[in-house]
Amino acid sequence: MPALSSTMTEGKVVAWLKKPGDRVERGESVLVVESDKADMDVESFQEGFLAAVIVEAGGTAPVGDTIGLIVETEAEIAEVQAKAPKAPASSAPPAVAPAAPAAVAPAAAPAPAIPAPVVAAAPAAVPVAVAAPASSASGRVVASPRAKKLASQLGVDLGALRGSGPHGRIQADDVLAAKGQPNTVPWVAEGPGPAVASGGNGAVAAGNGAAPAPAGNAFGRPGESVAFNTLQNAVNRNMVASLAVPTFRVGYTITTTKLDAFYKQVKSKGVTMTALLAKAVAVTMARHPQVNAATSADGTAMVYPASINVAVAVAMEDGGLITPVLASADKTDIYALARNWADLVARARSKQLQPDEYSTGTFTLSNLGMFGVDRFDAILPPGTGAILAVAGSRPTVVASKDGSIRVANQMQVNLTCDHRVIYGADAAAFLKDLAQLIETSPESLAL
């Protein structure tokens, strides 16, 4: 079993794909679990029969606790059901009944970020990970919190909808589509943001922090208290952990006139501004490996990754954020990078990313330019050395070296760094070279 994330303390059951009494084959999916950032099927480690469900769909359980029981023969089902502990769906389950032996390694613990409450078996136990609401084998309607809010506000019958999410989970898009409305969730906005007068660099992604609530305030109403969801809790823990890191920030103003012009040339070929900026950052970082480094987990060494993996912050529709990773961005051509990004965002939206697709970033890019933001600071993600906050591009009066005055598109960027690994001179040199690339030869990004 892979090592579990130290920040993951509990998981939530999305749906049981089997009901008590059903035959379970080795390697067959038994339930859907929600880690902090993805919904995944969990497979049985052995064949037998699902005897009892201890934690129902929608319930949560601490890492390592029992959530169900699997037996080898059909004759054992009644006896195990009589001894199986019961727990309400909203609370953590009690420990496994005495009749069940110790657990063995899970069949489908797919990643470090997945919680690992177990499905114990009698006579042999089968550990699995736990998860959050998605589809249900029992026939109940399963929808994201935002989808439920929208359905209530728009008068949509969730029972009449076919969900587009994992295992039929109803997403906000499904509700909006039922009313003939466009998706208003600011997932990833390419092109000029609504408040960017210049039509400049536009947006990379709704970044570092939750995106503003769409019309209708689907995240909560005045007077309500809304519990953090699994993803938000994971983000919260990471942000609190970041407070222990000694960080500093360096800002830079970059003229984007040439980048904007080049973007217009390649946009029709599927190249996004996200891909351009990620590529520019990666190419520059190849000449500044210190900015790609991080402090070791025990704080005793500087770790230099073997590749440059640019993570880009994306706001989730139900709150929180995820950082899909463009692996080896410096060595990937711009067209492939753009295709990779489109695929990552699509699968992030349906919570289908694999852990290595959101947890292996060595540097993070966060952008709020689509909202007309002119500058902001980003919080450093744990385990990395730097994150770049990119604001919107806008027309600015600029004084040239010869004293003449002109108007040029400019954007502000701020680099947040771990001072244990990166010093001021390192950050300044990186930003200077990044600006030079964007200002003088952005077309080289397509070579």
The contacts found for 84-89 with CB under 8 angstroms, 24 or more apart, are 84/51, 84/52, 84/54, 85/54, 86/54, 87/54, 87/55, 87/59, 88/56, 88/59, 89/55, 89/56, 89/57, 89/58, 89/59
- Please report, as a single letter, which amino acid is at residue 302: M
The residues, any chain, with a CB within 8 Å of residue 250's CB and separated by 6 or more, are: 414, 415, 417, 424, 427, 428, 431
Starting at the edge strand found earlier in the chain, the sheet holding 48-53 runs: 23-24, 48-53, 66-71, 118-122, 126-127
Buried b (16+ CB within 10 A) or exposed e, 84-115: beebeeeebbeebbeebeebbebbbbbbebbb
Backbone angles phi, psi at 398, to 5 degrees: -125, 140
Give dist(CA 97, CA 66) in Å, integer.
Answer: 9
Torsion region of 56: left, alpha or beta (phi above 0 gives left; psi -120 to 50 gives alpha): beta
Give dist(CA 55, CA 138) in Å, integer.
Answer: 14
The contacts found for 121-124 with CB under 8 angstroms, 24 or more apart, are 121/46, 121/48, 121/69, 121/70, 121/71, 121/72, 122/51, 122/69, 122/70, 122/71, 122/72, 122/76, 122/80, 123/71, 123/72, 124/46, 124/70, 124/72
Tokens representing 364? 């993070």
Q: How many CB atoms lie within 10 A of CB 258?
A: 16
Residues noted as catalytic: 419
Q: Are 377 and 366 in contact (CB under 8 A)?
A: no
